[in-house]
Chain A
Amino acid sequence: GEEVAQTPKHLVRGEGQKAKLYCAPIKGHSYVFWYQQVLKNEFKFLISFQNENVFDETGMPKERFSAKCLPNSPCSLEIQATKLEDSAVYFCASSPVRGEKLFFGSGTQLSVL
């Protein structure tokens, strides 16, 4: 497709439950990025992929967060045992080649109650 597709748009979880978010990058794009936007508009880089390989994971919390980009499947971001502070909008972005601009999806709003 011609846009980055994120699903679901909204996700509500009780504390301790698992949350899984999906991202379909634009067809032909090799790079995928995940960002977390918390209160006051603060964006935090989480992880990036080059095809199915992790490119940079320096922003990923060491515990509970994991991500994958497998061939012929949407990329996913999974949070085990969610906490209240995980409530945020999670944005996925993709780009065709290194050095090109990022195209962002419209985000998944995760609410942990």
Chain B
Amino acid sequence: GDSVTQMEGPVTLSEEAFLTINCTYTATGYPSLFWYVQYPGEGLQLLLKATKADDKGSNKGFEATYRKETTSFHLEKGSVQVSDSAVYFCALTNAGGTSYGKLTFGQGTILTVHP
């Protein structure tokens, strides 16, 4: 079945440091890929997405590129802020048929940014 593997956390950075969180996947067909963020005590928020190979999703300074050849969707940000501290989830869905909304998540990566 489909699966998503994220780098182990937690990740601790100083403000303005460069961030990379690795994500690789295994899926049949042509999945759509997502990064979600979860702030303490809250639900998931969609951060960015990409629906086909070589697409780049971007939002709030975060970027990720859908790499079909390496089955990867790594999250990057050039300069993190304290407010970026949260748990980040990589996810995929095969959107055909009844799979809509049925997301397969990675295990999450805790990011802590210090001033």
- Interface residues of chain A, those whose CB is within 8 Å of chain B, are 4, 31, 33, 35, 40-43, 45, 48, 55-56, 58-59, 91, 93, 95, 98-99, 101-102, 104-107
Q: In the assembled complex, how far is the CB of residue A85 from the closest CB belonging to chain B, in whole angstroms?
A: 18
Q: Out of A4, A31, A42, A105, name the residue touching B100 (CB < 8 Å).
A: A31
- Interface residues of chain B, those whose CB is within 8 Å of chain A, are 41-46, 49, 87, 89, 91, 95, 98-105, 107-108
Contacts of B102 in A (CB 8 A): 33, 45, 48, 56, 58-59
Does B103 lie within 8 Å of A95, measured CB to CB? no
Q: Out of B45, B100, B107, name the residue touching A41 (CB < 8 Å).
A: B107
Residue of B42, B49, B89, B98 contacting most chain A CB atoms (<10 Å):
B98
Q: In the assembled complex, how far is the CB of residue B62 from the closest CB belonging to chain A, in whole angstroms?
A: 15
Does B101 lie within 8 Å of A102, measured CB to CB? yes
Does B103 lie within 8 Å of A55, measured CB to CB? no
User: A109 CA to B81 CA in the complex, in Å?
Assistant: 29
Contacts of A56 in B (CB 8 A): 98-102
Does A31 lie within 8 Å of B101, measured CB to CB? yes
Does B43 lie within 8 Å of A106, measured CB to CB? yes
Does B101 lie within 8 Å of A91, measured CB to CB? no
User: A35 CA to B95 CA in the complex, in Å?
Assistant: 17
Does B105 lie within 8 Å of A33, measured CB to CB? no
User: A40 CA to B91 CA in the complex, in Å?
Assistant: 16
Contacts of A42 in B (CB 8 A): 105, 107-108
Q: In the assembled complex, how far is the CB of residue A67 from the closest CB belonging to chain B, in whole angstroms?
A: 14
Does A95 lie within 8 Å of B89, measured CB to CB? no
Does B89 lie within 8 Å of A43, measured CB to CB? yes
User: A104 CA to B42 CA in the complex, in Å?
Assistant: 9
